[in-house]
Amino acid sequence: MAHPKPNIIAPAASNGQYQHFVPQFLLKNFANRVPKAPKTPKGTSKPKYEKGMFPGDLVINSLDMTQDSAVFIEKPVSRILGQINMYDDFTKPDKERRHVEKLLSKLEAQAAQIITKVTKALEAKEPTVRLMWDERSLLRKFLFLMRYRNIGFYKRFHHENAAEYSDQDREQLREYMTENPQFKTPMDVWLNNIKTIVELEIDPDFKWAREIGKHMYPDDAQWFLYNLQCNTMAFCVPSNPEDEFILTDNSYTVSDEVQVFARNVRSDRIETLARAPFHEFAPVSPKLMIVLRSHFLSEPLEDNMPGIKARREAKRASAFEGFGPVQSVLEDLPVGKPHNSHLKLVGNLLCLREGEDGRQRREHSYLFHFFSVESRHVHTINSILLDKCINCTSIIFNSKDAFGKTLEWYLTAPLEYGKTLIGENADLREKILMKLEAVSRSLGSKKETEWTRVNNCHVAADHEYSRRVDQQVRKNFNKVLSGKKAPTPPDINSFEGISAVIDEVMKQPGATHDGGPPGFNPRTQYRMLGGSIHTAHKDKEQAILMMTLRIKIDHWSRGVDEEIRHHNRQILIAEYLRMPARRLWSYMHIVRYMYLSDTYFIPIRLKPEQPEDAVIYAKDLFQPDRLTSLIYKAFTYDIECRKFPHIDIWGELIPDSKNTALMKVLAFEVQGTESILNCGIPTIENLAASLVSQTPFVGMALGIWSRNPRNPNYHPTPSPDFESNLDAALDLFDILHRTELALRVICRTRFLGIMESERVRHGLTPKTLQDLHKVFFTAVYPTPPDDWRYRLW
């Protein structure tokens, strides 16, 4: 039987059950009791009350966001933040349909006892509350399920079949359902995941982490594992008694995060390219917020321990490398980790107590502090919730005065607190902001509201590549969770790890090539470049040092102007190009592996032959001092094309576009391959030089006309119709680049003919020359299509 379509604002049907995605024991913390009505005179009718709204009943103050204009309403606790039959399993018999709802109710009862323990300590003005190991573990599991059972995930999985599922992990989910045919719909997968997590026993020995992926969808098992291990739980209370926290439909799914947006060249839509999460939130009451803080952020006590702070900062720099120097708006939130009973504080350092070995045990306990946070932090947390309420039906609050203050703060605060309209939801977000602005005005605010719309965005062509890499990372990690064998990557941060990379590369079999014997492989290439068993160890060692130096220079120069960093890289590469070709080849394969592996759980993925192989096979045609530059250029082209697989560098050229920028870099800016006049093949160099000498204008453009001793002052005038023959695309090039491209086009058309005698003289096969022709004018000296020649000239 198919699961019914969601309708989160529908009243309870006679055959349906209203099931809360925010438990009533939490909603009651935000509720007030309906006051008793004054006595009415005799003979007058008694007031009528709606269900759940009788005197003494608990009701919620909320801002209803479902109408065209947001309105303040009161709703009974029993009829808010829920959905009819939300967790019903329609694949089961009638009596068993609510087995997941019953499991959740049992977990809620256990979590309610722990949270009541916390709130009672807070009400008693205790500075701390102590939780046992099992209590802390159950609370962490409950908080994850508050995120995972939310209405947003209900909508994510609520489809008739796997084909309708459209989230970013669609390939993984469809594959999982194919391998597990007992799941007929994505909803079946979701309900089983919830059931698995509820029934999971979290043990101190971490056995649960090794088992969970065998019993639920591995992608979400991985997320659950990360959520429990990679952040710290803290209890926050407002220092100002007038401040209060709010609650929204999706509060438990909201993150304080930095996002990177880019325009996808395939869809032409602005999409989220990456996220850097710092905090997650779980409102408990208007006076208590549980905050999950990322381990990448500072922790006062641990930062005093030798090496801990440095390791944390290194991990943060690595994790957020693609984001630049990002910070959380709650970076200075005054929270810390709980004090573990198996640790003691000696001075400013945490040390193991006598008899402890560092392993967790059920008898351990955790002393949680109630961290007092100032108004700015309360408003910031509320603002993050308001900024993410795009699909919310309700914003719940206790006091209208406190809500009015936090709403005004959000709408008028600087833009680093959100309110940036970007992407496909920009119009809807603006509509929500206008609703909230009208509410703020009705509450008396006269301050100017701030928000901004972003229409232009940098273009990223590698959305699909990033998605595929992420899929591969998840897929291989999921094999670990599900007990299947997954590739174990070398640690590319160590000497031994990178050494293993080179060893693995040298084992790669190559395709049969008629320029070499069957099984032509990297070892053969290494020998062709002058390597031997006597040089292999030294070259491998030096290649690792080259890679290490390259990484360190980039790391040390973070924050320096990008032009200076680029100049430093160019100097370093220039030195590398002076090294033996075999050593450069070893270095290139480390770089390629590190790029393709994307660090974790990615197997080595090398083609049997890389573009530089064509240059190596035909090395006898080149002048020895040019070989390393040409090999490196072919390698660089290959890496850039893998990063931007959907870009045609000779397609439509638009000023300031990624397409044009990439074309200019690959065509003209890689060291040692700027001009075909110095390509390293004497026959081609002579052809290019003869073309230049036949065209005075081209000679002038190249800057070599002044070398003519017979007429040093000759300044020829270009043909009057030269500029008129150039279309808009060619206006992107100066005269030097136009002429260089024209030379490449002509040399390409004559290459195979004039190089035939050289091929025979050096004993190369026709296939070797054809491969070189393709790579030479595609990767080494990128050349436009033939029809450009007439426009270039």
Task: Quick: pLDDT tens for 250-266.
Answer: 999 999 987 766 666 56
pLDDT band (50, 70, 90) for residue 788: low
Residue 344 forms part of a structural domain: yes
Please determine, for residue 495, whether its predicted confidence score (pLDDT) is greater than 90.
no
* Phi-psi label, residue 609: left if phi above 0, alpha if psi -120 to 50, beta otherwise: beta
Please determine, for residue 782, whether its predicted confidence score (pLDDT) is greater than 50.
yes
Please determine, for residue 678, whether its predicted confidence score (pLDDT) is greater than 90.
no
397 vs 526, higher pLDDT? 397
Between CA 79 and CA 60 the distance in angstroms is 10
Which residues sit opposite 269 in a β-bridge? 264
* Domain extent at residue 442: 231-455
Please determine, for residue 100, whether its predicted confidence score (pLDDT) is greater than 60.
yes
Q: Are 197 and 145 in contact (CB under 8 A)?
A: yes
Between CA 759 and CA 64 the distance in angstroms is 79
Between CA 542 and CA 502 the distance in angstroms is 12
Residue 290 in tokens: 């549980």
Please determine, for residue 702, whether its predicted confidence score (pLDDT) is greater than 50.
no
Q: Are 63 and 407 in contact (CB under 8 A)?
A: no
Q: Number of structural domains, the chain? A: 3
The confidence score (pLDDT) of residue 773 equals: 93
Residue 244 forms part of a structural domain: yes
Residue 482 forms part of a structural domain: no
Residue 83's alpha-carbon distances to 86, 95, 150, 256, in angstroms, are 5, 20, 10, 27
Same domain for 557 and 660, yes or no, is no
Instruction: Tell me which of 578, 609, 640 is where a domain ends.
Output: 609
Please determine, for residue 758, whether its predicted confidence score (pLDDT) is greater than 90.
yes
Same domain for 653 and 741, yes or no, is yes
Residue 602 forms part of a structural domain: yes
Between CA 149 and CA 145 the distance in angstroms is 6
523 vs 26, higher pLDDT? 26
**Pairing relation of β-strands 71-76 and 58-64?**
antiparallel
**SS3 at position 384:** helix
**SS3 at position 729:** helix
Out of 435-449, 574-588, 647-661, 734-748, least confident range: 647-661
Residue 780's alpha-carbon distances to 6, 240, 433, 767, in angstroms, are 57, 66, 52, 18
Q: What is the rounded (10 degree) CA torsion for 413, 416, 419, 422?
A: 160
Only one residue has tokens 């990379």, namely 501
Please determine, for residue 448, whether its predicted confidence score (pLDDT) is greater than 90.
no
Residue 50's alpha-carbon distances to 64, 76, 738, in angstroms, are 18, 9, 80
**Pairing relation of β-strands 365-373 and 231-238?**
parallel
Same domain for 315 and 386, yes or no, is yes
Q: What is the rounded (10 degree) CA torsion for 186, 191, 196, 197?
A: 100
Residues 262, 266, 269, 271, CA torsion sign:
negative
pLDDT cut 90: percent of the chain above it: 38
Residue 223 in tokens: 């997320």
The confidence score (pLDDT) of residue 590 equals: 77
Top mean pLDDT of 119-123, 544-548, 735-739 is at 119-123
Residue 754 forms part of a structural domain: yes
Residue 327's alpha-carbon distances to 279, 310, 330, in angstroms, are 12, 17, 8
pLDDT band (50, 70, 90) for residue 523: low
Top mean pLDDT of 363-367, 414-418, 648-652 is at 363-367
Residue 83 in tokens: 């959905």
pLDDT band (50, 70, 90) for residue 472: low
Please determine, for residue 498, whether its predicted confidence score (pLDDT) is greater than 60.
no
Instruction: Tell me which of 543, 578, 609 is where a domain ends.
Output: 609
Between CA 390 and CA 410 the distance in angstroms is 15
Between CA 193 and CA 216 the distance in angstroms is 5
Same domain for 661 and 603, yes or no, is no
Helices (H), 163-241: 170-179, 186-199, 207-211, 218-229
Out of 162-166, 246-250, 378-382, least confident range: 162-166
Same domain for 778 and 736, yes or no, is yes
581 vs 717, higher pLDDT? 581
Same domain for 371 and 439, yes or no, is yes
Out of 28-32, 76-80, 269-273, least confident range: 269-273
Please determine, for residue 21, whether its predicted confidence score (pLDDT) is greater than 50.
yes
Task: Give 78's DSSP letter.
Answer: G
Between CA 118 and CA 112 the distance in angstroms is 10
Same domain for 525 and 437, yes or no, is no
The confidence score (pLDDT) of residue 456 equals: 63
531 vs 644, higher pLDDT? 531
Mention every residue, 6+ apart, whose C-beta is less than 8 A from residue 494. Answer: none
pLDDT band (50, 70, 90) for residue 359: confident
Please determine, for residue 474, whether its predicted confidence score (pLDDT) is greater than 70.
no
Mean pLDDT (whole number) for 672-679: 79
Same domain for 371 and 514, yes or no, is no
Q: Are 780 and 674 in contact (CB under 8 A)?
A: no
pLDDT in tens, 569-602: 778 888 888 888 888 888 887 777 666 544 333 3
Nearest to 378 by CA among 407, 419, 412, 414: 407
Same domain for 264 and 353, yes or no, is yes
Q: Are 12 and 164 in contact (CB under 8 A)?
A: no
pLDDT band (50, 70, 90) for residue 181: very high
Dihedral pair phi/psi, residue 446, rounded to 5°: -120, 5
Residue 97 forms part of a structural domain: no
**SS3 at position 292:** strand
pLDDT band (50, 70, 90) for residue 478: low
Q: Are 460 and 309 in contact (CB under 8 A)?
A: no
Please determine, for residue 26, whether its predicted confidence score (pLDDT) is greater than 80.
yes
Between CA 121 and CA 786 the distance in angstroms is 79
Mean pLDDT (whole number) for 396-410: 96
pLDDT cut 70: percent of the chain above it: 70
Mean pLDDT (whole number) for 737-741: 78
The confidence score (pLDDT) of residue 58 equals: 92
Residue type, 668: F
Residue 114 forms part of a structural domain: no
Residue 243 forms part of a structural domain: yes
Please determine, for residue 59, whether its predicted confidence score (pLDDT) is greater than 80.
yes
Same domain for 239 and 281, yes or no, is yes
What counts of helices (H) and strands (E) characterise the chain?
A: 26, 19
Same domain for 267 and 363, yes or no, is yes
- Mean pLDDT, the chain, rounded, equals 78
Instruction: Tell me which of 609, 636, 669 is where a domain ends.
Output: 609
The confidence score (pLDDT) of residue 298 equals: 84
Top mean pLDDT of 189-193, 607-611, 659-663, 787-791 is at 189-193
Mean pLDDT (whole number) for 758-776: 92
The confidence score (pLDDT) of residue 540 equals: 77
> Terminus-to-terminus CA distance in the chain, angstroms?
70
Q: Are 432 and 395 in contact (CB under 8 A)?
A: no
Residue 220 in tokens: 């979400």
| DSSP-assigned states of every residue in 355-379 | T--S---TT-EEEEEEEEE-HHHHH
* Phi-psi label, residue 738: left if phi above 0, alpha if psi -120 to 50, beta otherwise: alpha
Length of the chain: 793
Mean pLDDT (whole number) for 619-637: 88
Only one residue has tokens 């997590």, namely 197
Same domain for 263 and 403, yes or no, is yes
The confidence score (pLDDT) of residue 508 equals: 42
Q: What angle do CA 690, 691, 695 make, to 5 degrees?
A: 115
pTM of the predicted model as reported, rounded to 2 decimal places: 0.62
Task: Give 48's DSSP letter.
Answer: P
The confidence score (pLDDT) of residue 150 equals: 95
Mean pLDDT (whole number) for 337-363: 81
375 vs 525, higher pLDDT? 375
The confidence score (pLDDT) of residue 309 equals: 74
The confidence score (pLDDT) of residue 267 equals: 63
Top mean pLDDT of 303-307, 447-451, 724-728 is at 447-451
The confidence score (pLDDT) of residue 475 equals: 59
Out of 325-329, 504-508, 686-690, 750-754, least confident range: 504-508
Please determine, for residue 133, whether its predicted confidence score (pLDDT) is greater than 80.
yes
Between CA 157 and CA 219 the distance in angstroms is 14
Please determine, for residue 553, whether its predicted confidence score (pLDDT) is greater than 80.
no
Only one residue has tokens 């933040």, namely 81
Mean pLDDT (whole number) for 309-319: 68
Q: Which DSSP helix (H) or strand (E) runs through 343?
A: strand 343-346
48 vs 713, higher pLDDT? 48
Only one residue has tokens 């005179």, namely 41
Nearest to 383 by CA among 272, 281, 294, 290: 281
Q: Are 398 and 63 in contact (CB under 8 A)?
A: no
